[in-house]
C-alpha cells in the first residue's frame, strides 16, 4: 500500500493531478445541479409574478 | 421536404424532457468507465521505462486536455448553428458548454504543470502548446464574462456566439502546435495517424478514461441545458408543466 501511494517517488506530482482533475469533475456536477435548481426557482418566481405569457 | 420533425425535435419542451430522460444513461456509464480506467491506469498499467510511475499523470492530463478542446468545438458548432438557423436551443447548448470547458482547461493546465516539473524541470514555459492552451482558458472566461456583462439575454446569446465561433481558430492551433513549432510538449501519442505509441496495457485505460470523460461531459451538459432552456422560455403553460407551481 505504501509503495502504491509513493508512486515511485512521483506522489507529490501525481496525486495532486488526480485530485485537481477529479475535483473539477465533482465540482461540475455540483455547479450544474445548482444552476438547474436556480433556473427552476427563477421560473417559479416568474410564473408566480405572472411574468410569463400564457 | 417536411421540416416539422426538425422543429419538433428542436422545440424547447421536447429537448427539456429528452435531456432529463437521457442524463442517467450518460452519467452512470461515465462513472463506471472512469472508475474502471482509474484502476487500469493506477494499478494494472506497468510503469513507463523512462518516466516510471510519473507517466500515470497522463490518465488525468490527457482527458482534461481532450475535454478542453472537445467542449470548445461543441460550443462553437452550437453557436454557429444558433446564429445561422436562429435556434434558441443551440444558444442554450453553447452557453451550457462554457463553464464545463473552462474548468477542464484549468485542470489540463494544472496537471500539465504538475507533469512538467518532474519531467522537464519547469512548471511553466511560454511554449506554443502551453501558451495556446492558456489562450483557450481566456477565450472561455471571455465568453462567460461577455455573457454576464450583457443584460438582454438575446443580445448576450448572439454576441457571445460570435466570440465562440471566431475563437475556434485556436483549436487546430493547439492541436498542431507540437508539430508546427519546436515544443517542449511531446507530440500526440494517441490522436495521430497510424498506430498509437502506447502499449496496450497503458493504452486501454487512457481510451476508457477519454470515453468516460466524454460521456460525463454529455451528462453535465444535459443538466445545464435544462436550466438554460428554462431561462429562455417565455411560455407559461409548459413552464408550469415542467417546474410545477
Burial class of residue B174, CB neighbours in 10 A (0-12, 13-18, 19+): buried
Q: Is residue B15 part of a domain?
A: no
In this complex, which of B115, B118, B227 lies closest to A39 when CB atoms are compared? B227
Minimal Cα distance from B213: which residue of A?
A: A25
Question: Distances in Å between the alpha carbon of B60 and those of A45, A54, B1?
Answer: 41, 48, 47
pLDDT tens across B61-75, in order? 999 999 999 999 999
CA–CA distances in Å: residue B225 to residues A36, B64, B78, B189, B221: 8, 21, 12, 33, 6
Backbone angles phi, psi at B235, to 5 degrees: -80, 120
Q: What is the mean pLDDT of chain B?
A: 92
Q: Is the pLDDT of residue B48 over 70?
A: yes
Let me know if residue B17 belongs to a domain: no
Contacts of A26 in chain B (CB under 8 A): none
Among B112, B209, B118, B37, CA closest to A7? B118
> Is B77 part of any domain?
yes
CATH number for the domain harbouring residue B173: 1.20.120
On whether the CB atoms of residues B244 and B48 are closer than 8 A, the answer is no
> B 38-67 residues with CB below 8 A of A?
42-43, 47, 52-54, 56-57, 60-61, 63-64
Query: Rounded to whole angstroms, how far apart are CA atoms B80 and B141?
Result: 19
Nearest C-alpha of chain B: how many angstroms from A18?
A: 6
**Residue at B89 is within a domain:** yes
What residue ranges in B15-60 does DSSP mark as E strands? none
ipTM of the complex: 0.92
Number of domains in chain B: 1
Query: Is B60 within 8 Å of A32 when comparing Cβ atoms?
Result: no
Domain hosting B64: range is 22-243
Q: How far is B1 from chain A (nearest CA, A)?
A: 32
DSSP-derived letter for residue A8 is G
| Any domain includes B54 | yes
pLDDT tens profile B233-245: 877 788 888 887 6
* A32 near B CB under 8 A: yes
CA-based nearest distance B180→chain A, Å:
28
Higher pLDDT, B64 or A1: B64
As given in the structure block, the three cell numbers for residue B179 are: 508539430
Amino acid at each position: 500500500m505504501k509503495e502504491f501511494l509513493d508512486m515511485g517517488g512521483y506522489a507529490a506530482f501525481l496525486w495532486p493531478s488526480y485530485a485537481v482533475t477529479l475535483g473539477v469533475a465533482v465540482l461540475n456536477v455540483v455547479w450544474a445541479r445548482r444552476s438547474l435548481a436556480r433556473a427552476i426557482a427563477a421560473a417559479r418566481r416568474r410564473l408566480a409574478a405572472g411574468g410569463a405569457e400564457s | 421536404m417536411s421540416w416539422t420533425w426538425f422543429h419538433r425535435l428542436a422545440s424547447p419542451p421536447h429537448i427539456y424532457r429528452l435531456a432529463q430522460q437521457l442524463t442517467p444513461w450518460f452519467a452512470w456509464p461515465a462513472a463506471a468507465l472512469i472508475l474502471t480506467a482509474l484502476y487500469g491506469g493506477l494499478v494494472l498499467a506497468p510503469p513507463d521505462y523512462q518516466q516510471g510511475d510519473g507517466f500515470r499523470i497522463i490518465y488525468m492530463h490527457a482527458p482534461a486536455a481532450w475535454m478542453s478542446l472537445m467542449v470548445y468545438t461543441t460550443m462553437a458548432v452550437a453557436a454557429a448553428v444558433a446564429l445561422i438557423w436562429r435556434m434558441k436551443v443551440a444558444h442554450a447548448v453553447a452557453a451550457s458548454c462554457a463553464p464545463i470547458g473552462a474548468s477542464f482547461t484549468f485542470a489540463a493546465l494544472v496537471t500539465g504543470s504538475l507533469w512538467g516539473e518532474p519531467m522537464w524541470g519547469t512548471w511553466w514555459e511560454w511554449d506554443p502548446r502551453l501558451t495556446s492552451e492558456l489562450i483557450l482558458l481566456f477565450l472561455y472566461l471571455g465568453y462567460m464574462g461577455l455573457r454576464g456583462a450583457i443584460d438582454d439575454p438575446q443580445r448576450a446569446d448572439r454576441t457571445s456566439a460570435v466570440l465562440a465561433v471566431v475563437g475556434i481558430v485556436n483549436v487546430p492551433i493547439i492541436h498542431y502546435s507540437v508539430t508546427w513549432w519546436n515544443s517542449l510538449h511531446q507530440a500526440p501519442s494517441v490522436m495521430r495517424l497510424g498506430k498509437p505509441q502506447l502499449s496496450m496495457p497503458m493504452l486501454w485505460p487512457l481510451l476508457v478514461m477519454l470515453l468516460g470523460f466524454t460521456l460525463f461531459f454529455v451528462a453535465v451538459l444535459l443538466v445545464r441545458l435544462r436550466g438554460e432552456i428554462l431561462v429562455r422560455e417565455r411560455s407559461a403553460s409548459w413552464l408550469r408543466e415542467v417546474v410545477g407551481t
